[in-house]
Structure 1
Amino acid sequence: MEAIPPSGRQLELVHAGSSVTVVEVGGGPRDYRVDGVPVLDGYPLDAMASHGRGQLLAPWPNRIAGGRYRWGGATLQLPVSEPATGNAIHGLARWSAWDLERTGSASATASFTVHAQTGYPFTLDFRAEYALGDEGLAVTMTATNRSASAAPVGMGAHPYLFVPGPGGAPLPVDDATLTIPANRRLLVNEALIPIDAEEVAGGPFDFRAARPVGRLALDTCFADLRRDADGLARVVLAGESGEAGGGGTVIVWMDQAWEYIQIFTSDSLRGDERRRSIAVEPQTCPADAFNSGQGLRILEPGESFGGSWGIQPAR
């Protein structure tokens, strides 16, 4: 009997010199290459998606404090999936089998139904539409409430990006130049739950203009996003010398559905994974939105919401 890869069925999208592999488990991208050069810091076929690599996050991104929240006059308890902090993390769909459907040589959909369960007594359909083209990879995510009552919903994605250096070799995080179009960052407690917010202007977390990461450690949620004339917010990763130094850039863009960006410089990872790449995580709401209400979408029966984000490499 042929062994099944840990991430399940694999579906490869191809356009010109680019390829993206979307997987069944978690519904996310496992690999993305342009002319053979990796854009994503993904994972091999025979491995699980460590540290959330590429996973789609639903029906909430990030953490819920203690896995508990109040809804409809009752306290609901989710499974604690992050023992180190005692929180529920990254939703209920990241280790489940999504239904993959090819819609073209460079396009596909991944869909999954979160059924009512202990701690989340709602049924929702989630769908991700992938399209690989001249401008890179675009992902449109949609949530639809199939319950008979209103449901709290958030979504996110968790790609890790390499910083492209000269010749396509990835640069370490220390040598990256980063642009984050955000006016505020959220402050968190020891369990990584937001407790306040502050303006970034003039401080070490002010990346509104491109500047080197250096030794700064980021596991930070940014808010109050600045958007370009087309309505998109763009996070830009580049080598310190930029394209003039022979490297390139990678842009993660997101439309107005994504009001928050979590940036993680991989400092808590071990071995050669530490500070090897930067996770840029579009989120419709921040951590603990089920309790704070920040950015939380409450979908009525039959109601949908969604938005698009994408990865645009330029070498």
Structure 2
Amino acid sequence: MSNDEITLAAGDAEVVLAPGNGGRVTSLRIGGTELLRQGERFGCFPMVPWCGRIRDGRFRDGGAVHQMPLNAPPHAIHGTARDAAWRVARADRTEAVLTCDLAAPWPHTGHVTQVVSLGEDALTLTMSVETFASSFPAQLGWHPWFNRSIGGADVRLDFTPAWQEERGEDQLPTGHRVDPKPGPWDDCFGMPDGVDVTLTWPGKLELNITSREEWVVVYDEQPEAVCVEPQTGPPDGLNTLPRLVTPIEPLEASTTWRWRRL
């Protein structure tokens, strides 16, 4: 199938996908109102096979140390699949399935599948990483850029994390957990009962982001947008909290965004 943009529609909700641009969601419109920041680097992109930064771009895998390109010097950031062209396995009016093979500079053979399902009041993103070769550590997650302002109303973020990962001067977790602090944030939070964050544009729209995963990064240091990123582990998690993908156990996660008008 073509890697051109795909449009999904349900009720007054419309989603646009760009398989050729990192398998990202480029647009989410509710009643004609755009929720995602526009631009080639924005929208919502999948983070895989790692999320956030890897310290110095290096991660240990058994006895080997692998070096990733330093695309956020001095670190590597957000995986490799956002720079790849994804394939369209299937698409209809309300759901699309995109796939991507992990390739160099990633050192392992793996296959990523992302399912994008749109309902009248919710969008669900599901991703899996599988391998039929050697096992490897991996992470996955999503990096949405939500417009800070909709129709003049600035967004409000509401969430109750159990802890905040203390962030060092190198932007990475120090390994210490601290009580959540007020923003602005470029920080990772722990939510052991599952990610649950609500974005409210007063008088316009409420959007609730949930995931069974317990990690979320919140980034709101730019004036144009805020990011709420559910993911399977913390930044530098390939080193500190690796999740293994094996031939019999893929890595899977999902997130649902549910909205209502105000």
- Superposition TM-score, scaled by structure 2 size: 0.91
Partner residue, 1:260: 215
- Return the letter of the residue paired with 1:146: F
1:94 counterpart SS class: helix
Partner residue, 1:15: 10
* Separation (CA, whole Å) in 1 of partners of 2:75 and 2:148: 31
Identity rate, percent? 25
Residue 58 of structure 1 pairs with residue 48 of structure 2: yes
1:185 to 160, 164, 171: 164
1:68 to 58, 82, 86: 58
What displacement does 1:225 show?
A: 3.4
What displacement does 1:251 show?
A: 1.2
* Separation (CA, whole Å) in 1 of partners of 2:168 and 2:233: 18
* Separation (CA, whole Å) in 2 of partners of 1:95 and 1:221: 23
Q: Per-residue CA shift, 1:13-57, capped at 9, x if unaligned? A: 0111110001111111000101101122232xxxx215xx41111
Q: In angstroms, what is the RMSD of aligned CA positions?
A: 1.9
Segments of 5+ residues of structure 2 without an aligned counterpart are: none
Q: Measured at CA, do residues 102 and 170 of structure 1 come closer, stay the same or move farther in structure 2, by a change above 3 Å?
A: farther
- Superposition TM-score, scaled by structure 1 size: 0.76
* Aligned residues of 1:126 and 1:144 also touching (Cα < 8 A): yes
Segments of 5+ residues of structure 1 without an aligned counterpart are: 1-7, 206-215, 228-232, 268-273
Q: Per-residue CA shift, 1:256-299, capped at 9, x if unaligned? A: xx22100011x2xxxxxx32221010110111112112xx2112
2:56 counterpart SS class: helix
Partner residue, 2:181: 204
- Return the letter of the residue paired with 1:57: M
* Separation (CA, whole Å) in 2 of partners of 1:39 and 1:170: 13
- Return the letter of the residue paired with 1:96: A
- Return the letter of the residue paired with 1:310: T
1:133-172 matched pairs, under 5 angstroms: 133-147=119-133, 149-162=134-147, 169-172=151-154
Q: Per-residue CA shift, 1:197-228, capped at 9, x if unaligned? A: 3342xx634xxxxxxxxxx311111013344x
Partner residue, 2:41: 49
Q: Measured at CA, do residues 170 and 226 of structure 1 come closer, stay the same or move farther in structure 2, by a change above 3 Å?
A: farther
Q: Measured at CA, do residues 10 and 218 of structure 1 come closer, stay the same or move farther in structure 2, by a change above 3 Å?
A: same
1:75-86 matched pairs, under 5 angstroms: 75-83=65-73, 86=74
* Separation (CA, whole Å) in 2 of partners of 1:101 and 1:17: 25
Q: Measured at CA, do residues 254 and 278 of structure 1 come closer, stay the same or move farther in structure 2, by a change above 3 Å?
A: same
* Separation (CA, whole Å) in 2 of partners of 1:252 and 1:138: 10
* Aligned residues of 1:42 and 1:54 also touching (Cα < 8 A): no
Equivalent residues, number:
258
- Return the letter of the residue paired with 1:261: V
1:1-315 matched pairs, under 5 angstroms: 9-24=4-19, 25-43=21-39, 48-50=40-42, 53-83=43-73, 86-115=74-103, 117-118=104-105, 120-147=106-133, 149-162=134-147, 169-172=151-154, 176-200=155-179, 204-205=181-182, 216-227=183-194, 233-239=195-201, 242=202, 246-255=203-212, 258-265=213-220, 267=221, 274-293=222-241, 296-315=242-261
* Separation (CA, whole Å) in 2 of partners of 1:192 and 1:18: 36
* Separation (CA, whole Å) in 2 of partners of 1:291 and 1:262: 17
Q: Measured at CA, do residues 63 and 150 of structure 1 come closer, stay the same or move farther in structure 2, by a change above 3 Å?
A: same
* Aligned residues of 1:163 and 1:249 also touching (Cα < 8 A): no
* Separation (CA, whole Å) in 2 of partners of 1:162 and 1:74: 41
What displacement does 1:177 show?
A: 2.6
More strand by share: 2
Point out the structure with max Rg over C-alpha.
1
Q: Measured at CA, do residues 114 and 35 of structure 1 come closer, stay the same or move farther in structure 2, by a change above 3 Å?
A: same
